[in-house]
């Protein structure tokens, strides 16, 4: 027993010595680390680097004392600084916490830039950089007017509008946002949303994740160091969603004026006020934006440019820019209006002006070669020489028929590249009353053709045909350019006119075009895109167009140069259409 007791005492004594040795070693290491850190700090102070963690924490404390952060969150940040100061220098969490502290303390927290509330200067800036876009410019001027009145009444905080600019590519949605920022005196941030599928891009990652960082909203605010920038959310209709979350749902809080005064980023963790930010979003199609998100924004539609508008944009902005970028001087290059018009009509097919700018750049480069090789001081590119510079024409516009024909009616269509005309042909063949539709037509257009046939069946007296005529004949309706998909209800009155002409044998006026949806009872219903359609008719030298009576409100949108040469006739019923279109 005595031996066992002695063995136990010896083992306990051995363990005690080992523990004492380990404790002493740990204490020595800590003392050594502390001594080395103090040495490093002293050396850095002598050298003037000041890059140590201790120095960083001192800088952060100083920034925190000057920050406008709310008091209830200041205490939390203070505790984090103290916590980091007690961590060893090589402790992994120290860097994570330092990054978080830098992000939070560097946020502006109510610091704002002084806005420019000069309406005249704002108009000048907006008109200097962009031609047209009247609705967008008007809305910004309205905002500034309200801002000025509120300011005079002593109200300094005015919620900015949340605008959504919807229009085809290349019409200037993104570029006008930068001009708006300059006009209202705000810093500019752009965030492209195209292809974003991860909610954390908007809200940030939680700090527990490796490599966590704030969302791009808070990063943008931190970058410009002000709480009232202009924030452009580009291509909002291109947002996706997957197992990482739905970014469009995360944007609901950002773009809601009732909620964004306490936006909570997962990384920052402190509620942040975004109500002073002027948010502008852009999209090519409002149909692709989720309804709850669309409901939170003020929609401003931007239509494609007309030929006349493109002419002005080319002369005022695009051509001078390309002349400068290609090493030329203004006095060395001349492009007559007819040359620019041919470039627009035969080398581009777009609603915007991006392709037009590329073609003008090509012209300027070729002129640069001409000036150098021929040793000349000036070159004027006439329309007849355009093919030598740009090659064969890329696009063609079908000319309208030169004479009145039976069963051929001119319709008006809206496309992503603007307006266009299309001829709809109808033919009557012996048969059993079948209806054949060709030309790559969509379901809606096919239904319009069925409705047109039903109307013709109900109006055999007006067409002066036998009531069994349609039952004993097959009807073939064709829309040329069969490789191009076509859809929409606006060709209704064109189809019924072509059908009525083919059935009755009466010719249709070749200088007339039309657009409008039809009902079974023969009413002409309203359509969209009237401005683009009218411009297309004017380009084809159409003399008169028939439009639904409910679209008379849209006539003001048509350029004056088009209205001057084009007769616009509102109609209410198909009977009126046939009375005007069919020759006696």
Average pLDDT over residues 469-496: 85
- Asked if the model's pLDDT at residue 116 lies above 60, the reply is yes
Alpha carbon distance 263, 203 (integer Å): 9
- Whether the pLDDT of residue 208 is over 90: the answer is no
Which residues face 420 on adjacent strands?
413
DSSP codes, 110-135: T--PPPP--HHHHHHHHHHH-S--HH
Span 559-568, mean pLDDT? Answer: 86
The question of whether 179 is a catalytic residue gets the answer no
Q: State the Cα–Cα distance between residues 577 and 523, nearest whole angstrom.
A: 10
Residue 473 has pLDDT above 50, yes or no: yes
Residues 91/81, Cβ–Cβ less than 8 Å:
no
Quick one: which of 581, 537, 499, 543 has its CA closest to 398?
A: 537
Best CA proximity match to 485, nearest among 438, 423, 526, 453: 438
Residue 548 has pLDDT above 90, yes or no: yes
Asked if 420 and 400 count as a contact pair (C-beta separation under 8 A), the reply is no
Give pLDDT tens digits for 257-273: 888 888 888 888 888 88
Band of pLDDT at residue 132, cut at 50, 70 and 90: confident
Rg of the Cα atoms in the chain:
36
Distance CA 275, CA 259 (A): 8
pLDDT at 569 over 90: yes
Cβ contact 389:368 at 8 Å: no
CB-based contacts of 455: which residues, under 8 Å, 6+ apart? 496, 518, 520, 522, 574
**Which one is catalytic: 173, 310, 531, 533?**
533
Residues with Cβ within 8 Å of residue 196, at least 6 apart in sequence: 202, 239, 240, 247
Our answer to whether residue 533 is catalytic in this structure is: yes
Contact 521, 545 (CB under 8 A): no
Contact indicator for 278, 231 with CB cutoff of 8 Å: yes
- At 232-256, the pLDDT tens digits run 998 888 887 766 667 888 888 888 8
Query: Would you say residue 568 has pLDDT above 90?
Result: yes
Reported as a single tens digit per residue, the pLDDT across 153-183 is 877 666 778 889 988 888 888 888 899 888 8
**For residue 494, pLDDT beyond 90:** yes
Answer yes or no: is pLDDT of 396 > 90: no
Find out whether 500 and 579 touch, Cβ atoms under 8 Å: no
Question: Which has the higher per-residue pLDDT, 483 or 306?
Answer: 306
Q: What's the mean pLDDT in 198-225?
A: 86
Backbone angles phi, psi at 176, to 5 degrees: -70, -25
580: Cβ–Cβ under 8 A, 6 or more apart, which residues?
Answer: 509, 512, 544, 546, 569, 571
pLDDT at residue 44 in the model: 57
Map residue 244 onto helix, strand or coil. coil
474 has a pLDDT exceeding 50: yes
Predicted local confidence at residue 50, as pLDDT: 46
| Whether the predicted pLDDT of 52 surpasses 60 | no
At 547, the pLDDT band (50, 70, 90 cuts) reads very high
Percent of the chain with pLDDT over 70: 91
DSSP assignment, residue 479? Answer: -
Per-residue confidence at 111, pLDDT binned at 50, 70, 90?
confident
Q: What angle do CA 123, 124, 126 make, to 5 degrees?
A: 65
Report d(CA 529, CA 538) in Å as an integer: 15
Q: Out of 11-20, 382-391, 486-495, pick the least confident.
A: 11-20
Q: Please report the DSSP string for 20-40 in residue order.
A: HHHHHHHHHHHHHHHHHHHHH
- pTM confidence score: 0.77
Residue 398: other Cβ atoms inside 10 A: 12
Q: Which entry of 490, 501, 506, 531 is annotated as an active-site residue?
A: 490
More confident residue, 526 or 132: 526
Asked if 76 contacts 64 with a C-beta cutoff of 8 angstroms, the reply is no
No. of helices (H) and no. of strands (E), the chain: 22, 18
Mean pLDDT along residues 360-383: 90
Mean pLDDT, range 463-472, rounded to an integer: 80
> What would the pLDDT profile of 74-106 be if each residue is shown by its tens digit?
888 888 888 877 776 667 777 788 888 888 888
């Amino acid at each position: 027993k005595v031996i066992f007791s002695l063995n136990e005492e010896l083992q306990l004594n051995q363990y005690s010595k080992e523990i004492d040795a380990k404790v002493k070693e740990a204490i020595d290491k800590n003392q050594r680390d502390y001594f080395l850190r103090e040495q490093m700090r002293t050396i850095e102070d002598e050298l003037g680097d000041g890059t140590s963690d201790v120095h960083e924490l001192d800088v952060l404390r100083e920034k925190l004392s000057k920050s406008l952060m709310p008091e209830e969150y200041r205490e939390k940040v203070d505790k984090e600084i103290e916590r980091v100061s007690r961590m060893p220098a090589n402790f992994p969490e120290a860097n994570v916490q330092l990054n978080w502290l830098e992000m939070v303390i560097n946020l502006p927290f109510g610091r704002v830039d002084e806005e420019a509330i000069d309406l005249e200067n704002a108009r000048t800036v907006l008109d200097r950089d962009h031609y047209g876009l009247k609705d967008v410019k008007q809305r910004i001027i309205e905002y500034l007017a309200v801002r000025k009145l509120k300011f005079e009444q002593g109200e300094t905080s005015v919620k900015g509008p949340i605008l959504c600019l919807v229009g085809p590519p290349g019409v200037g949605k993104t570029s006008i946002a930068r001009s708006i920022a300059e006009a209202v005196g705000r810093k500019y941030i752009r965030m492209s949303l195209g292809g974003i599928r991860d909610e954390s891009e908007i809200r940030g990652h939680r700090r527990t994740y490796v490599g966590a960082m704030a969302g791009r909203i808070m990063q943008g605010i931190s970058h410009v160091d002000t709480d009232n920038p202009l924030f452009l959310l580009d291509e909002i209709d291109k947002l996706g969603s997957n197992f990482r979350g739905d970014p469009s749902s995360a944007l609901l809080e950002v773009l809601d004026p009732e909620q964004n005064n306490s936006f909570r980023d997962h990384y920052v963790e402190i509620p942040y006020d975004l109500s002073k930010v002027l948010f502008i979003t852009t999209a090519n199609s409002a149909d692709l934006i989720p309804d709850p998100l669309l409901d939170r924004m003020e929609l401003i539609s931007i239509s494609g440019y007309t030929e006349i508008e493109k002419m002005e944009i080319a002369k005022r902005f695009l051509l001078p820019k390309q002349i400068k970028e290609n090493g030329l001087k203004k006095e060395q290059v001349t492009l007559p209006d007819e040359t620019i018009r041919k470039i627009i009509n035969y080398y581009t097919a777009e609603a915007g002006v991006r392709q037009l700018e590329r073609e003008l750049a090509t012209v300027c480069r070729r002129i640069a070669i001409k000036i150098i090789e021929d040793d000349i001081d000036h070159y004027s590119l006439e329309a007849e020489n355009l093919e030598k510079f740009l090659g064969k024409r890329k696009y063609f516009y079908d000319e309208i028929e030169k004479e009145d024909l039976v069963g051929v009616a001119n319709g008006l269509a809206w496309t992503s590249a603007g307006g266009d005309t299309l001829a709809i042909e109808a033919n009557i063949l012996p048969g059993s009353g079948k209806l054949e539709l060709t030309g790559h037509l969509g379901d809606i257009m096919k239904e319009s053709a069925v409705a047109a046939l039903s109307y013709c069946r109900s109006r055999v007296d007006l067409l002066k045909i036998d009531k069994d005529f349609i039952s004993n004949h097959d009807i073939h309706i064709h829309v040329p350019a069969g490789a191009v998909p076509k859809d929409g209800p606006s060709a209704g009155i064109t189809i019924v006119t072509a059908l009525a002409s083919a059935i009755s044998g009466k010719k249709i006026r070749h200088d007339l075009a039309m657009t409008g949806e039809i009902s079974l009872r023969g009413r002409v219903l309203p359509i969209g895109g009237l401005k683009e359609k009218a411009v297309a008719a004017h380009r084809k030298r159409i003399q008169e167009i028939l439009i639904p009576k409910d679209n008379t409100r849209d006539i003001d949108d048509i350029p004056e140069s088009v209205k001057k040469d084009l007769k616009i006739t509102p109609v209410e019923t198909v009977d009126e259409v046939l009375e005007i279109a069919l020759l006696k």
